[in-house]
Amino acid sequence: MPETRSMANGNGATVRSRQPPKEEAEENIFLFYPNLIGYGRVLLAVASLYYMPLHPRTCATAYSISCLLDALDGIAARHFEQSTKFGAVLDMVTDRCTTSCLLVFLASAFPRWSIVFQILISLDLASHYMHMYATLSMGGSNQSHKKIDETRSWVLKMYYSNNKVLFTFCLFNELFFIALYLLSFSSPYLSPTLLKDPQAPSSLNVGTPALPKPSMIFTSPWSAGAMEMARANKMDSTVPWILCIASFPIMFGKQVINVVQLVKASKWLAEGDRAERKRLGLPRRGSKKTQ
């Protein structure tokens, strides 16, 4: 009930003035703890992209911390009861963008395999977009993309309903690509140009002088040639190879799950299309076919 206050007017009559109810302070969703962690992830991801061309250790460290914080924001959301749709979308967008950027770099580092990385980027974006769209359009705006009916897909049910399974697949998926990124700086088996001696005479036949200074060859420190020289023999490849081989099976399984997610979302949308066409009475019997 709103507060009332009694006061006397000039004629001695009592007049009650009605006080407006106090409004509750509006929650600032953008400053929730899990969302603050999400902003930190974005900053670390941007830092990793900045250092990615020339500083593999710094890049890998920033990128890995950003990925590990992906688990922390979920714990914070549950602990402080601050699970929000904005936070869920921020988390997913950050994951998709950071992974795509890393795969773009790998496509440039291993041009012979660029089509593989392009397919992986497309599969990752397409499967998650289709899944989100199908969930919102078929399941309703209050339906979470992580709430999967087991009758629709037991694989996705297991993947999304168990936080440990979800974290393991995401962790090893990112670990494989980080290890492959480190190998682009260290393994001559994957990057044959790393075998070349940077002090060897130049093979340039045109121009003068015959052996131009590096500053004349690479006018920009961010040129492809300068980056290639900076990458050469930066680090030992033993640990990256171990991480790459150990994480490959789970990474491959993650891609299989992406395919399953894409197929199931497509079928779910098709079910909705059939139901909508049936509701509208399509196709109309006896109607003339359009030319």
H/E run at residue 42: helix 33-51
pLDDT value, residue 161: 87
Percent of the chain whose pLDDT exceeds 70: 74
User: According to the model, what pLDDT value does residue 68 have?
Assistant: 92
Residue type, 122: S
Q: How far apart are CA 202 and CA 218, in angstroms?
A: 13
Burial class (CB in 10 A: 0-12, 13-18, 19+), 5: exposed
3-state secondary structure 174-221: HHHHHHHHHHCCCCCCCCHHHHCCCCCCCCCCCCCCCCCCHHHHCCCC
pLDDT at 8 over 80: no
Q: What is the pLDDT of residue 170?
A: 93
Between 119 and 54, the higher pLDDT residue: 119
Residue type, 265: A
With 90 as the cut, is the pLDDT of residue 264 above it? yes
Give yes or no: 236 in active site.
no
Residue 39 near residue 54, CB atoms below 8 Å: no
Model pLDDT, residue 224: 62
* Full-model pTM: 0.78
Domains of the chain with CATH codes: 29-189+228-268 (1.20.120)
With bands split at pLDDT 50, 70 and 90, how would you rate the model's confidence at 209? Answer: very low
> Which helix (DSSP H) or strand (DSSP E) does residue 16 occupy?
strand 14-18
Query: What is d(CA 74, CA 38) in angstroms, rounded to the nearest whole number?
Result: 10
290, exposed or middle or buried, with CB in 10 Å at 0-12, 13-18, 19+? exposed
Residue of 95, 124, 149, 236 with catalytic role: 95
Higher pLDDT, 207 or 239: 239
Candidates 109, 101, 98; CA nearest to 184 is: 109
pLDDT at 207 over 90: no
pLDDT tens, 139-174?
766 677 777 877 788 889 889 888 889 999 999 999
Q: What tokens does 68 get? A: 């590990």
